[in-house]
Amino acid sequence: MSLFGSSSGFGSGGTGVFGSTTTDSHNPMKDVEVTSPPDDSISCLAFSPPPMPGNFLIGGSWANDVRCWEVQDNGQTVPKAQQMHTGPVLDVCWSDDGSKVFTASCDKTAKMWDLNSNQAMQIAQVSYSSVYPMAVVATAERGLIVYQLENQPSEFRRIDSPLKHQHRCVAIFKDKQNKPTGFALGSIEGRVAIHYINPPNPAKDNFTFKCHRSNGTNTATPQDIYAVNAIAFHPVHGTLATVGSDGRFSFWDKDARTKLKTSEQLDQPITACCFNHNGNIFAYSSSYDWSKGHEYYNPQKKNYIFLRNAAEELKPRNKKW
């Protein structure tokens, strides 16, 4: 695989065991910094699937590149390989066996990156959230389309959006039998909808909640409201993480309708997040998301990817919110 830099010569991001780095405004949670982050805003992150030994993290950015890091057991990260598009990379995902990575870009191409040969070829691919045999596509005008992927993939249902503002992200969740059963939808208005595909009681089971706002749920004073940039579900507990333009991540238990944790505020928006296959590592990226326009863009500001020990903080709770 082609190296895009060694661990010693490609940046000086903090390494070491989880939680041992020095805190400051760019890393108030004292999480581990990934070595050699992209040179422009980070748009997407994805960890390798269970069949692959170890943990490998893929990240795409507006610098047109896709990078791969190995995350070692002690929390250190080693840059392993890189592929390029001719436009910003919008999304990445792994094949089930971990041998390939799929990438989608503003250059109007989607590619399949074979990690064994380090060759990438253009393919036809749509970016969406999918957990076989279900896919959910968020379309223009706040549309939602659910597809079933078994046999011949086909449209299963069109859903009226439970949110009143532009969609920003969507993620599928599973039931206790590990089958996809619904999705979480985030919007630019600091709100998330939890929507089941076939709920026993739709009016009761489907709900929305506010998040990523300047003063929480207090509506007595004016609020700054921020976009929900990404949603990720814990692969073991089924709890979820949201990250936003406010520079915070929050952990939630959708079944108990409880907030588990909110981070301190970073000095930049959090643009993407993901869990590794056993849910022990939570990765999140800090970079400008253009939510305040070009006048707030600072080209001197560094981009970061952080790794956090998520083994305990995502365990479900019992109390209601």
pLDDT in tens, 257-291: 999 999 999 999 999 999 999 999 999 999 999 98
Strand pairing class (281-286; 270-275): antiparallel
The pLDDT, as a whole number, for residue 102 is 94
- DSSP state at residue 154: E
Q: State the pTM of this model.
A: 0.88
Structural element, H or E, at residue 204:
helix 202-205
pLDDT at residue 240 is higher than 90: yes
Distance of CA 120 to the CA centre of its chain: 23
For the chain, the average pLDDT equals: 88
User: Angle 130-136-139 (CA atoms, 0-180°, nearest 5)?
Assistant: 130
